Chain A
């Protein structure tokens, strides 16, 4: 148990983080009145966010061990435990999840008019399970929360979604579930191939399994995570789900659920099956490049704003998987930072689309053309988030993509060069959208009745804008917490000691 630094405070903070939303969700059933329920959900998510903040300040960035650990026996017969802990890889993801959830409640304030109680219940439930995914250090518990995220998401899309919600929710559920079924077999196989039998994730790392066994386990894991990410060619569920989901659902899906896939690569594939990871690296890199280009070109052709952003996600996630599998510190830290960036920026873009949809009841670019004249504050936000999405210098994504590409060039010039057009495509489709929405052409639809953002919407978007520039101008506090964990991870994968100072330190003293 030397990998786990047990939490010595008087309260198990990680369990509390998971239980708060869960308890809040069940208490919703005794709270009368839709308005009061909304305030309750907001209060619970804000409280959870507030409780999670101390994690950052008490986090020790010098160790790669799992911190704030908790360990309790659960099913002794099978050596299943309830083990929680976070390291530099999961810390920021946990914080991002807790900080995004109040915004998800806020953006649903007007958007959700039916079954408010049930909607807020689903939101709180999914928060609890998502936090569980990022904190779990035991495979059985991990699998349970991993699958449990599907049920609330299925309802978020299926009940409060758009016209084709049923098709989209079923597709989402079946795709992601079918992917993870074989992961369960892989988990059990790992259990029996380890002596003593264990489901503890850190104990399964670096076990030196035979190469053929590693390959099979890797493939089973890869299928589950690649569908979740989603990597090209497993991405087809994503546009459908995004377009049909309500705004809060899209934000959760883009910002957190997709990250569970890339988190899975970092947490499981690389350290547990290092040899297989190295073997499969070239294929995954090329799949990533394919995703970057495919996502970019498809986004360029979209006329629906949500679809455009959904396909841009495919491209951005391609950059992240590229960064992970170049297997060097720059790429990996860039990928980790980009996971956060994508969560912030794409989440914000989906919020923006939701805001305009509430007003014009359409997401068609042509029908939303030229709203800049009537909604100056709105388009200012939209412009900054779009710039962030295309990795404009000074915004958060620039740092992330730069580090990924720096890592990419160190690995293979050919692959990095092939990925570059992705960045240009991003500029093309984002600027095209901006141009249409802000100015449009000579035949803009009439928008005279449009009102600009209200306080609630500004409060929803402002924190994200702050983060865009914070990470863009001073990424150090975010990157610092990753060093030890990423270095340890790379050591596990290729056994190399990372003496080289990561690029970010040189670039931004």
Chain B
């Protein structure tokens, strides 16, 4: 019962493997994966209240892990729907493509439940390797082989980050003599202030900084976002970040509530650098995916703001923010996937006159971008507001002011995308057809973004009790 969501993904991936063996079964692949993602989401919802441990206590099921699993499953479902035609991915590899997507999701779901370092590592690699393979699965755009370049960069940076993380894990094992989180936590508290322990934590974190695209592990972002097909980027930009945020919260609890002065300093520096680097670079982008990539770096910085507080509310706010980010980001990628006619990249100018070409998409883009920019009443504002409140409560005034300044910088590029969609003439660009399912998803995303922003109370309460369950 505890393992059912993962089990359904596992079975689903076996079915997909079967489908990939035959020829001419591409249609089936999409139906299978769509059904699978819906079923998995429902199963996650059904197992939300479950508690327990599996596999010699290396695998823990609690509210924290189940909430993240639910978000991951929903994220995958949305990606499957918005990338339904898989434009830009060759028909021949579609079943394999979905197979890897399901495996990667499976890895992420396992990741958020792992409380033992080696299983954590295995889960992370399962999700990463599947992603490494998804990136080059794209038609060659203009013979430049940018998808290969992206894949190579993704793998190389990924391997370096993983290596760093393993190095950190080895230190942790050396210091504490165990690979179980439950054993590490008390020992780490005894080692408070020990430089080696802090170094170990920092190295350990770097693997997840890479996934979340935090400075200085962000270098892969722009090229991978640009080189991978639109649906792949939508996946990479949203779902793995949930897993990364979950584990970063778990790691930070190792040093909470007292012992983390140097870790806090590290997180703060990374947060500020991410925000400035992401926002300033995004200002000059013309490719929408690249722009969202840089914006993702700055949002990763914001997620760290919740961690520096080292308290329950801060962690809960980070959870709230990253789940809000999932929906805002997916809203933007939905528009990209639909506007792109044959799977090519979408430049800002391609959105010209979107308001008259596809009003609903334009509205979705408006809500998504404004939410990312942190304009009320959307979830982005409420999340930023609570992150800033939390950070100021912990006494980080400088950090809060720098973050607030970043919000002001960021408005510019989000607004210029919206501006193009609403005020420029279409200049002969054709209407964008939108199918019924996409309409439903668009409206659902808009509603979620607004409701989460206006009524944050229930989600925050849920996140708070989730964080309490792991402390």
Contacts and interface: CB of A to CB of B under 8 A. Distances in A.
Nearest to A197: B393
A169 B423 contact: yes
A76 B457 contact: yes
Given A184-B404, A191-B389, A192-B392, A144 B415 contact: no
Interface in B277-321: 313
A147 B407 CA distance: 13
A169 B419 contact: yes
A145 B375 CA distance: 10
Contacts of B423: 158-159, 165-166, 169
A170 B419 contact: yes
Contacts of A140: 385
Contact of B400 (A145, A174, A188): A188
Given A174-B411, A177-B408, A147 B392 contact: no
Most chain B beta carbons < 10 A, residue from A74, A75, A174, A189? A75
Contacts of A191: 389
A191 B456 CA distance: 19
Interface in B333-383: 355, 370, 375-377, 381
A500 interface: no
Contacts of B393: 192
Contacts of A169: 419, 423
A74 B457 contact: yes
Nearest to A191: B389
Contacts of A324: none
Interface string B374-418: 011100010001101100110001001100110110011001100
Contacts of B416: 170
A178 B374 CA distance: 12
B397 A189 contact: yes
Interface string A454-481: 0000000000000000000000000000
A158 B422 contact: yes
A76 B397 CA distance: 23
B375 A75 contact: no
A59 interface: no
B404 A147 contact: no
Given A76-B457, A174-B411, A184 B388 contact: yes
A155 B267 CA distance: 39
A99 B425 CA distance: 35
A78 interface: yes
Interface string A149-174: 01100110011000001100110011
B375 A148 contact: yes
A185 interface: yes
A191 B393 CA distance: 9
Contact of B376 (A144, A178, A185): A144
Given A77-B460, A151-B370, A174-B411, A181 B419 contact: no
A78 B407 CA distance: 22
Given A140-B385, A170-B419, A181-B407, A147 B400 contact: no
Nearest to A189: B392
A173 B400 contact: no
A147 B419 contact: no
Contacts of B313: 77
Contacts of B464: 77
Interface string A125-141: 00000000000000010
A40 interface: no
Interface in A360-418: none
Interface in A66-109: 74-78
Contacts of A185: 388, 392, 400-401, 404
Interface string B238-260: 00000000000000000000000
Contacts of A111: none
Contacts of A151: 370, 375
Contacts of B456: 75
Given A74-B457, A76-B457, A151-B370, 19 more contacts: A77-B457, A140-B385, A144-B377, A147-B381, A148-B376, A148-B377, A154-B415, A158-B423, A166-B423, A166-B424, A169-B423, A170-B412, A170-B419, A174-B412, A177-B375, A177-B408, A181-B407, A184-B404, A191-B389
Interface of B: 313, 355, 370, 375-377, 381, 385-386, 388-389, 392-393, 397, 400-401, 404-405, 407-408, 411-412, 415-416, 419, 422-424, 456-457, 460-461, 464
